[in-house]
Structure 1
Amino acid sequence: MSVKYAPVLWNRNKYLYDAVLLAGVIGYIYLYTSVGPFYQDVTRPIDGAVLRMRAFGSCAFLMLTIILCIGPLARLDRRFLPLLYNRRHFGVLTAAVAAVHANYVLGWYFNFSPTDRYVALLSSNTSYGQVLGFPFETLGIAALLILFILAATSHDFWLSFLGAPLWKALHMLIYPAYAFVVLHVALGALQGPDDPVFTSVVAASVLLVGGLHFAAGRAEMAADNYQADASSEVEALEQGGWIVVCDVGEIESNRAKVVSVPGHDRVAVWKYKGKLSALSNACAHQNGPLGEGRIIDGAITCPWHGYQYQPEDGRSPAPFTEKISTYRLMLVGTTILLDPNPQAPGTYVEPVVIGEAS
């Protein structure tokens, strides 16, 4: 509950999540190294180290693809939210798998170099002025460094130490890391012997990640630009600066509708016990999306780590002292309108009674 640093304790869901992750990685590596050689179009058997190198490298690429798909999938369908909550564990394991791939690369190509293998890696190809033959190794190194930074700062200590805005901005580096990995693969592995399967996998990954983010963005834009059938009273309120949220029937009980306000802030409008309340959509702990959570035992519960707030005043239940901004609402017929001006964090705002409109 507290935004002060405290370890997030393990639970059954976390153990199950990590067990499935480990089983998936082990199963993929086993299948690639045991079944994959039968589908290699080569005249000589592939060395075991090379096979493991490719297995771990392709596994890390697929894991990074899945990580970047979880976010937009959760935006499009709430059933994917459980995958989102412990996504940091997925990222840490991805960094570990990528590190094993890098170790095999160094061991195979540079272990017997007369110079230090790290020096040899960076100095063996310096043709940065061309596309074909570009030293793709540096792109892989850049991606690996980013993954290490994200894994090392994934703990809540760093969230508390850096602050939520900086921590979140830092972890947006996952997108440059993915771009570096795609370029690393395109300029490296795909320049070798024709491999239509892997080429198709890379192309499908780019299309899938891009397509899901585009679809999620369109859905968010449609929600943000929602316009209800406005009466003259609603139109007058809009001219006065109020924002149309939606029809009251569109919000499920104990759930929220998230709406954007000027300045790119987001507000969660909650429906509960025949009433409506509006609070900031950003959890005080990690800027988690409160509007994707639900009301449990009368308290708004963040889906990321369970931080709770009272819907009427945005305060955490005692003995905790965290608080977030509240907003005024108005109900005209069945249309919900929001005053975009936030109240001071922890300010009590009288809930709107839905009555027959529910």
Structure 2
Amino acid sequence: MSVRYTPVGWNANKIVYDALLVAAIVAYVLVFIWAAERPGGAPPYDDATIRMRAFGSCAFLMLSVVLAIGPLARLDRRFLPLLYNRRHFGVATCIVALTHASYALGWYFAFSAHDPYAALLSSNTSYARLAGFPFEIFGLAALIILLALAVTSHDFWLSFMTAPVWKALHMSVYAAYTLVVAHVAFGALLAPVLQPLQIVVPACALGVAVLHVLAARQEPASLEREGWVVVGAPDRIAEGRAIVVPVEGGESVAIFRHEGRLSAIANACAHQNGPLGEGRIVDGCITCPWHGFQYRPEDGCSPPPFTEKVATYNLRLENGLVLLDPRPNARGQRVEPLFVAEARA
């Protein structure tokens, strides 16, 4: 949380995260270059094709990890720390992908009589058939999306575009991933000789899809009683934690337990629509797992001097079951926490 915009809000966690990320990228590229087969016995530092493939495969693996972090964190809270700097991971992925593209342009079109970009788009126009389809167009489209996401990743653009619009734009990362898979499927995967990439790419794509399906199935089902949603027994909720309850309109509500009392607030953080229900209570405040934005459980307001607010919801206890009114209160409206029995360990 900040009262002004800074290029990067550095702290020890981010420095360590980024240092490990850069080290992993460098190590992967060096190992790939060292291990790859070099046509004609060319040394690795003189083979642009291998460098191009090293950065391309690295970008694909990084994008796969970026898309896997969300569902992994929903399935197992131990992955939540990876969410904290996922934007840094995404920007790094874009830089690696851009490096791959620069090697591709430099290797295949540097000596073209036309502009390299014009040559890229005009060298293969077999769009009417699958065999020989110009796979480059998929990679270019994916790169444009990744560039747009990287450029708009800063909080300034979030504030300027509003959270719903910003979130909708950044959901296009799934389109970018689909385009990258198509780029590889119509390109490297068609190589006549079996390569590791021909196994890794389908496995990663399938893994990302399976993780999202499993995470979606984790959403708790809810019944309705006289317009109120039946959440279940209070002991479903651990002290300092929450459960997430879906309501009409595609929204969801996070119900937190704090000092033996329950409070319900909108699950979307006012910062970037982060999943508040996956966070925990720190120093008496609900803390978003993405970037640490905090809200008081009883009124959904950030502690001073911050001004962010989220909607609150009413709860009641009936026959030993917690009921949720799916109609939101105004943002920042105080609701008296619901007292329940002692929290489970």
Task: Find the partner of 1:286 among 247, 272, 275.
Answer: 272
Cα distance, 1:10–1:278 mapped onto 2, change above 3 Å: same
Please report the RMSD computed on the Cα atoms of aligned residues, expressed in angstroms: 1.7
Write the mapping of 1:72-111 to structure 2, written as runs, cut at 5 A. 72-111=71-110
The CA deviation at 1:6 is 2.8
Query: 2:284 — aligned with what?
Result: 298
Match of 1:181, as an amino acid?
V
The CA deviation at 1:323 is 2.1
CA contact (8 A) 2:238 2:343 kept: no
Query: 2:20 — aligned with what?
Result: 20
Take 2:172 and 2:342, find their aligned partners in 1: how far apart are those partners? Answer: 48
Take 1:5 and 1:108, find their aligned partners in 2: how far apart are those partners? Answer: 44
**TM-score, normalization by structure 1:** 0.90
Please list the CA deviations of residues 204-227 of structure 1 after superposition, one character each: whole Å capped at 9, or x if unmatched: 01111111111111112xx1x146
Query: 1:35 — aligned with what?
Result: 35
Query: 1:235 — aligned with what?
Result: none
Please list the CA deviations of residues 142-185 of structure 1 after superposition, one character each: whole Å capped at 9, or x if unmatched: 01111111111111111111110111111111111111111111
Take 1:319 and 1:199, find their aligned partners in 2: how far apart are those partners? Answer: 53
Please list the CA deviations of residues 229-282 of structure 1 after superposition, one character each: whole Å capped at 9, or x if unmatched: xxxxxxxxx431111112211111011111011112111111111111111111
Task: Find the partner of 1:252 among 238, 242, 267.
Answer: 238
CA contact (8 A) 1:242 1:337 kept: yes
The yes-or-no answer on 1:337 pairing with 2:323 is yes
Take 2:127 and 2:162, find their aligned partners in 1: how far apart are those partners? Answer: 37
The CA deviation at 1:23 is 0.8
Gaps of 5+ in 2: none
The yes-or-no answer on 1:307 pairing with 2:293 is yes
Aligned length: 340
Query: 2:134 — aligned with what?
Result: 135
The CA deviation at 1:192 is 2.5
Query: 2:155 — aligned with what?
Result: 156
Take 2:82 and 2:340, find their aligned partners in 1: how far apart are those partners? Answer: 34
The CA deviation at 1:119 is 1.3
Query: 2:41 — aligned with what?
Result: 45
Take 1:355 and 1:193, find their aligned partners in 2: how far apart are those partners? Answer: 66
Name the SS of the counterpart of 2:41 in structure 1: coil
Take 2:216 and 2:298, find their aligned partners in 1: how far apart are those partners? Answer: 30
Cα distance, 1:135–1:357 mapped onto 2, change above 3 Å: closer
Query: 1:231 — aligned with what?
Result: none
CA contact (8 A) 1:249 1:334 kept: no
CA contact (8 A) 2:300 2:309 kept: yes
**TM-score, normalization by structure 2:** 0.94
Match of 2:321, as an amino acid?
T
Query: 1:213 — aligned with what?
Result: 212
Name the SS of the counterpart of 1:300 in structure 2: strand
Take 1:209 and 1:264, find their aligned partners in 2: how far apart are those partners? Answer: 22
CA contact (8 A) 2:222 2:246 kept: no
Match of 1:16, as an amino acid?
V
The CA deviation at 1:320 is 2.9
Take 1:251 and 1:355, find their aligned partners in 2: how far apart are those partners? Answer: 11
